[in-house]
A = this chain, B = another copy of it.
Amino acid sequence: MTDERLTRTLEEAGADGLISADPGIVRMLTGHFYDIETGPSVFAIPAIAVAVSGAEPMLVCSADEAEASDTAITYEGFTIARIDRVAGARQALASALERTAGAQARWLIDAASLPVGALPELPHARLADGELAGLTAIKTPSEIALIEAAIAVADAGQAAARETALEGATELELWERVREAMEARAGGRIPILADFVAGPRTAQVGGPPSTATIAPGDLLLVDLVPRVAGLWGDSCATFLDADPTEEQRRLHRAACAALELGIGMLRPGTTAGQIDAAVREALAAEGWEYPHHTGHGVGFAWHEEPRIVPGNDVPLAEGMVVALEPGAYASDWGLRVEQVAVVTDGAPRVLSGHDLSLARAG
């Protein structure tokens, strides 16, 4: 069955088909996902989706990855023979093109993801980048369920981060407990993007966990972005063990109110830019500002349309999944809160279940 999202993207681009090696686009069109944690493999190039309207999308990947797929066109992967992944992929891709719209069709080629050596001669092809940004924005109910499951994994990580006293632990030690809790919930190793910073480092918006020891009164900023079954979740909270300063308390209250305001605006027809403006202004009215986006779509990538940024005139639509993350950063501390919600035909449905409190425990 053809994916309506694909049909619309191809029509808008005046193209017959799409060739993409973007992991999110491949996941959406073919269901296939693969290890991304260890970088490019000597034995393969990234899996490629070949999709035209009116037919099941095809997958081109190494034989090592294809076990789950009946319809993949494969080339040799892990081998003790000579490695020729590029030629193998190019030949498999040419074969996939033959079985679909052919080499003479008007192919749209994902400019950011397709390795130059994998492309056969395609006289009427055209490179695309920004045009593909909207392709993955709207999610199906089953995709939303998978994103919800990924967010539940993030929730488990947030809960683990609050489980023990902060003081005296290093960021890295706490992080390992958080990762363990998330992977226990997921049932296996998963890729996780994360900000995990304490004390003065919270002023820097984010960063990886370090060996710095958490001091009394330090804030801990925990932003967890796990990929589960090929779909990304997201969540952020900032908390501490001690009594917050009055300024911290006021900012936290303002950030939570701005978040709630933004979540309430996640309705079909509202533009991304309107939400960005409203949330940004709500914090500005309290004297705070943040140097980053107000939020972003999430699911097939950890940051996708609708990007909740100034001036983005993309209108929200039912099925979009949006993370909002207002915060603010002083000279030696900062805080941010984040939830994810899905746009419905009525009120937005919040998928996040984690604690946003400023106090670590109860």
Residues of A participating in the B interface, judged by any CB pair closer than 8 Å: 22-23, 36-40, 42-43, 45, 78, 80-87, 109, 111-119, 127, 129-130, 133, 172-173, 175-176, 179-180, 183-184, 187-189, 191-193, 208-211, 225, 227, 292-293, 301-304, 307, 309-310
Considering the chains assembled together, what is the distance between the CA atoms of A118 and B210 in angstroms? Answer: 34
A75 CB to nearest chain B CB (Å)? 13
- Contact assessment for B187 and A175 in the assembled complex, using a CB-CB cutoff below 8 Å: no
- Contact assessment for A180 and B191 in the assembled complex, using a CB-CB cutoff below 8 Å: no
- Contact assessment for A112 and B40 in the assembled complex, using a CB-CB cutoff below 8 Å: yes
A67 CB to nearest chain B CB (Å)? 12
- Contact assessment for B115 and A86 in the assembled complex, using a CB-CB cutoff below 8 Å: no
Given A187-B211, A189-B209, CB of A40 within 8 Å of CB of B113: yes
List chain B residues, Cβ under 8 A from A133.
83
Contact pick for A115, options B43, B111, B189, B310, CB 8 Å: B111
Contact pick for A310, options B78, B80, B117, B293, CB 8 Å: B80
List chain B residues, Cβ under 8 A from A307.
83
List chain B residues, Cβ under 8 A from A119.
116
Considering the chains assembled together, what is the distance between the CA atoms of A129 and B82 in angstroms? Answer: 12
Contact pick for A111, options B23, B116, B129, CB 8 Å: B116
List chain B residues, Cβ under 8 A from A113.
40, 115
List chain B residues, Cβ under 8 A from A304.
42
A244 CB to nearest chain B CB (Å)? 28
